[in-house]
Each structure stands twice: as C-alpha cells, then as structure tokens.
Structure 1
Amino acid sequence: MAPQTMQQWTVEGKDGFDSLKLNESAPVPKIGDRDVLVKIHAASLNYRDLIIPKGQYPFPLDFGVVPGSDGAGTVEAVGAHVTRFKVGDKVATLFNQGHIAGSLDQVSVATGLGGVIDGTLRQYGAFDEQGLVHIPSNLNWQEASTLSCAALTAWNGLYGLESRALKPGDIVLTQGTGGVSIFAVQFAKAAGATVIATTSSSAKADTLKKLGADHVINYKDEPNWGEKAKTLTPGGAGVTHIIEVGGPATMAQSLNAIKIDGVISIIGFLGGMSKDQPTFLDCLTNICTVRGVLVGSRLQFEDMNRAIEANDIKPVVDEKVFKLKEAKEAYQHMWDQKHFGKLTIKIA
C-alpha cells in the first residue's frame, strides 16, 4: 500500500531555479477508473526542464505543476477499468500524455508532462493508462528513466517522416553530446547507418567514437563543419539526416551539410535565439526537408523500445546521480554543463 503523503517538487514562478519548491508532505494522488498509480524509482532531466522555471519555454505551460517529463517506476495500483497494466509492471512515462499515434494536434500538444500535467519529480504519480509504456527489459531504472523525451525525440527525428525514414547505409549527422544527440548516434548505428558527429573537445570525441560514431568533427577547430561533413560523404553528396539541436546558431552549417532530399529535424535551440540565420529560401536552394520535432507518440515509443531490446542499446547515463531532495542542485549541475549523457535523479 502506498503511503498517504510524499515528497514532490513544483514550479512556482519564473525566477530561475529558486522557483522550484519542495513539499515534504504532499498528498499521494488518488486514481480514477482509468488511472495507474506509479511508484517512481528514477527520473531524468532535459534542457526543457531547466528553461521552464526561467520562463523561456515556448510551449503550453502552467505553474504550480510538478516538473519532469521523464520517469520510470512500478505500478502500485490500477483503476477499475484499466486494461493495459497490472500491479508490479515496470513502466515509463509518455511526454505528451495525449499523443498516442499519428501527428500531434491542438489537444495533444497541450498535454506535456511536467509542463501542463504533473510530472515525475515526486515519489508517486497518477497517470492515465494511455500515457504509460512498458520499459525495455534490458534497462535498469536510471536507464529507463531517460527514454521519455531525449530518446523518443531522436527516434522521431530519424523515423518520424515515414517516406524518408532512416535506412541502412544512410548518413546521419549529430551535434554535440547531449541526450538526444547521443541516442541518435546509438539508434543510427544499430540501423546500419554511418554517423558523423560534432563536438568541441577531444575527450568527448573519443567517447563518441566508442559509441560508434564513424567520423567526429571538432567544431571549434573546424567552424565550417557543415562543409567538412559533406566532404566525408560518398561523392560529396551530403548527409541524409541531421538532428539539429543548436537552432539558429547552427542551421547554416546543417544546410551546408545536407544532401538533396535530405531531412533536417530541428529539435532544439541550445545555441540560443538569433535573427542571424538562414531563410526559408535556403530550404529551396538546398532542396531539402526541414521539420520541427516535439518528442513523439506512444506508438513510436513502443517501436523504439522494441529496437532498444533487440539491439541491447544502453542509454548513456552520467555517473553522478542526485537524490530527489537534491533536484535543485541537479538542475544547476546540468545548467553548468557538468554532465555527460543523461542526468538522473534516484527517487525510490
């Protein structure tokens, strides 16, 4: 039986990480007929979590909400009409709770966990049964807690446009060593693709090569890394898929690297916002597809989990693990870029 109270964090404003407030005796949520009560064992942070309390998140948001989209745990109780799960099942959370399959719409885009709906930085969570998936059997709690946002975003970037889905022999360009980029390296290699990765340090370059990257470009030494990447492709034809995490600051180089009919999936703006960026006309002159990606659907999540099991893919988890009470310190640690791979919080 779950206790009556629990620890949970909420976001109470836009004043930076001081807007994060810990409640040591919040009520454990009640479940309805189609809800599942989950004892959360681990959660992981994303860049999105960091910018919400800073007031920089561009998607639907409410304050007073429990933060965190990513979490994994054990089913403690199920509602009377739940059919997808039973007590004892190991589950992970879906980022947009209403995004079951197909494209996002005006309703499902406003169901972001940790933004509009109470998220995972708490000991127990009640979720609609449609907003959970079974976790891959080859992962531990910390690893499973990293899948909801970064992994699924990478998967959607590579497979979400069905007519241009990743194929063996394709060439994928990833940027940096954040969670999405590392997952993209792992998924691309498992699919038989060639990977070109960018980074800013020789130490990170070595790690990327260990993960399977075929070529690594140091963008500090090679500011025109897009053109360099193109020279590494057969006949200089260009890259098939680019996972674009930098945004305006890196888009020009991505366009320099892309192949005719290639796909650039924009998933973030880590490089900051800028008016100095390519125009829509550059998509025409480079004859490519540029798409925005906001995580992915439950159907994609389930497909991805099967691939993770089949290929025994292990998420890269930072060696430093924080406790739930240390969530604010975890935010700062990640903001200071002291992590490598996914930063996790142990809860249960």
Structure 2
Amino acid sequence: MRVFELREAAGIDSLTLTERAEPRPGPGQVLVRMRAASLNYRDLIVVTGGYGPSLPLPLVPLSDGAGEVVEVGAGVRRAKPGDRVAGTFFQRWVTGPITEEAAASALGGAIDGVLAELMVFEEDGLVHVPEHLNWEEAACLPCAALTAWNALFESGCVRPGQILLTQGTGGVSVFALQFARLAGAAVVATTSSEAKAERLRELGASEVINYRTTPEWSKPARSFTGGRGVDHVVEVGGAGTLEQSLRAVRRGGTISLIGRLAAPGEFNPNWIFIKSVRVQGIYVGSREMFENMNRAIAAAGLKPVVDRVFAFEEAREALGYLASGAHFGKVCIRFG
C-alpha cells in the first residue's frame, strides 16, 4: 500500500511517498481503507519539528481521516465490513477525563496517523460517521469539529441568546460558528479580509471585525454587546491574541484556549482574576464526545465547510496551501 512517511521533521518537503506491506487486523482490531483525510494546523507543527525530539520517526502524519471497514479481527463488535467510520484523534480516550495513557495515543503524533491507504485501528478508536456526509466532509470531524464541540458544549455551556467570539476562518473557528448558530447563540467573528468576512456573514455571523485594520478588535466586539462583553471566546491565536480576548470577554465569561496561530505576544494575567474569567484548555475530546457531536450533526444535517480537496499524491501541496493561510474552513485529501 502507499503511505506518506515523515523520516525527519524538517518541513513539508521531508514527507516521502513510499510503500509498506498491507496490514491485517488482530483481535479487537479493524482494518479500514482510508477514503479521505483533512489537515489541521497541528499537522504543520509536526512536519516542521515543532513537536521536538520526542517525535517517533519514521511517522505517518495526519490525525483526521475517514474510510470504509474492510475486515475485522476476532471479537470485534463495534464495526463490520462496509461501515463508514472515522478514527478518534486520541485512540485510547473513550470517556471521562483525559489520562496520561490517552494523551499518548494521538494519531499522527504519538503514533502513526492516517496518511496511508490502509490503517488498522483498535475498535474502541473508531466512530461511525453521519450518513449525509461525503468522505471529505466526514474526514473533517475528528480534530477541528470535536475541538469546537468540546469547547462550546462539553467543557463549555454555550446557550441560546449568548454571544460567542471566534477568530479567523480555520477549521475550529468555522465549526464553532456553525455549532453556535445551531444552539441559537450569536457570533462575533474576526478575519483578515472582506472576502472572508462576507462568507462568515453567509454562515450566520452577526458581526465581523477585520483584525488587520482594527488590531484592537476587542473594542468593537464589546460595542456589539452594549459594552458588556462576549460570553465565550474560542481562542485559537494563543499569546498573540489572548490580551484582546481578555478585554473582549464579559465579567465571569469563558475563554477556550485552543491554539497558537498568532505571533508571540504578551498579556496581562490580572484580567483573568479581576474579571473572574474562566480560561479552559481544550485538546480535542473523547470518543463519547465525538459520538454526541455526530448525533447533533446528523440531526441538523450540518455540513462541514470544505475549502479545497487535493489528491493523495498532492499531500505536500495540500500542507503548503494550509500554511499559506488562504483557506476558509477545511483543506482535505482524497484517496484514489
């Protein structure tokens, strides 16, 4: 089978297309023919060496993919040949709080990921995907969608009538906008261009702020709320945007800290206790959360926003496109 390997974490060009023997499932395992994968910013961190010397090499990258069950091992009860499934980001985080064991089971980082034509999963590391989604859309769910869902509803408590602030137009932020609108919450979104702003409005954003022309975007965000501040911020920028998020959020509000996309910066931690702000770290979610989310997606008929689809052989080009920041929503790879 064909597979991409990262033999050294030296950048996108260090990805190598090669051949490996076709795997077979053992007891409790499921063999899946991968049909599509989607990219996350975390994948760029992996291939460029951001995970440090502990990265196991050679490594098959990417955490998010969907495919069809080909064969199951002895004792498998949760899947059968022909099922449409996706792997969970953490293969050993089934339910409850995350553990050290679960944290060491992340696809495309701690263990081999999904950029291979065939993959063996433990049966507990799979979920069935909503039937109305195509392969590329289903492949968008394991990391970006679940991260947004966890932030808003599992670890968060977004309710109808509240106001959410999202940053940019990457996968997590776009999913957060879609989920918030399903829940009856309003959304203030930041972006860098009028073209992207128009698309955010089409998805239901009530207010869009250009962070390039308005670097102190917390001011118009607070103005939109009548000076009170937003209820919840999905913070994907990290230290470079956290100061503005702390100014934008209401007293007693919540900031879900998810990424570090922005340039390094400084922030005043005094705002956290002065305003009684809850800052929660979100690192994807459990299989139970994934299944909760899938039920909501199926009931609402929600469709992920896919920006562009690349062929399997174009995996390096796909990562380069993601790195450019030109995308709106998800960047995907279609397997043959």
| TM-score above 0.5, yes or no | yes
| Partner of residue 277, structure 2 | 288
Q: Percent identity, aligned pairs only?
A: 49
Matching residue within 265, 268, 271 for 1:278? 268
Matching residue within 206, 211, 214 for 1:214? 206
Aligned counterparts, 1:11-90, within 5 A: 11-23=6-18, 25-57=19-51, 61-90=55-84
TM-score, normalised with respect to structure 2:
0.97
Alignment check: 8 A CA contact 1:60 1:110 kept: no
Matching residue within 303, 309, 312 for 2:298? 309
| Partner of residue 246, structure 1 | 237
Cα deviation, residue 118, structure 1: 1.4
| Partner of residue 222, structure 2 | 230
Alignment check: 8 A CA contact 2:169 2:327 kept: no
Separation (CA, whole Å) in 1 of partners of 2:231 and 2:327: 29
TM-score, normalised with respect to structure 1:
0.94
Alignment check: 8 A CA contact 1:48 1:57 kept: no
Matching residue within 249, 263, 277 for 1:258? 249
Separation (CA, whole Å) in 2 of partners of 1:321 and 1:74: 19
Cα deviation, residue 60, structure 1: 6.6
Matching residue within 158, 166, 169 for 2:152? 158
* CA separation of 1:291 and 1:260: change in aligned 2, threshold 3 A: same
Q: Spell out, residue by residue over 1:140-172, the C-alpha distance to the aligned partner (whole angstroms, 9 max, x if none).
A: 1010001111000111111122xx511111111
Letter in 2 for 1:277: F
Separation (CA, whole Å) in 2 of partners of 1:111 and 1:101: 14
Separation (CA, whole Å) in 1 of partners of 2:145 and 2:221: 24
Aligned counterparts, 1:103-114, within 5 A: 103-114=97-108
| Partner of residue 3, structure 1 | none
| Partner of residue 134, structure 2 | 140
Alignment check: 8 A CA contact 2:167 2:190 kept: yes
| Number of equivalenced pairs | 336
Cα deviation, residue 221, structure 1: 2.1
Does 2:190 correspond to 1:202?
Answer: no
Separation (CA, whole Å) in 2 of partners of 1:228 and 1:252: 15
Counterpart of 1:98 in 2: which secondary structure? coil
Cα deviation, residue 236, structure 1: 2.1
Separation (CA, whole Å) in 2 of partners of 1:220 and 1:119: 35
Letter in 2 for 1:20: L
* CA separation of 1:57 and 1:277: change in aligned 2, threshold 3 A: farther
In structure 1, the gaps of 5 or more residues are 1-5
Counterpart of 1:327 in 2: which secondary structure? helix
Cα deviation, residue 230, structure 1: 1.3
Alignment check: 8 A CA contact 1:122 1:324 kept: no
Separation (CA, whole Å) in 2 of partners of 1:278 and 1:91: 44
Separation (CA, whole Å) in 1 of partners of 2:53 and 2:207: 35
Write out the 4+ residue segments of structure 1 that deviate beyond 6 Å after TM superposition: none
* CA separation of 1:257 and 1:60: change in aligned 2, threshold 3 A: farther
| Partner of residue 316, structure 2 | 328
Alignment check: 8 A CA contact 1:37 1:76 kept: yes
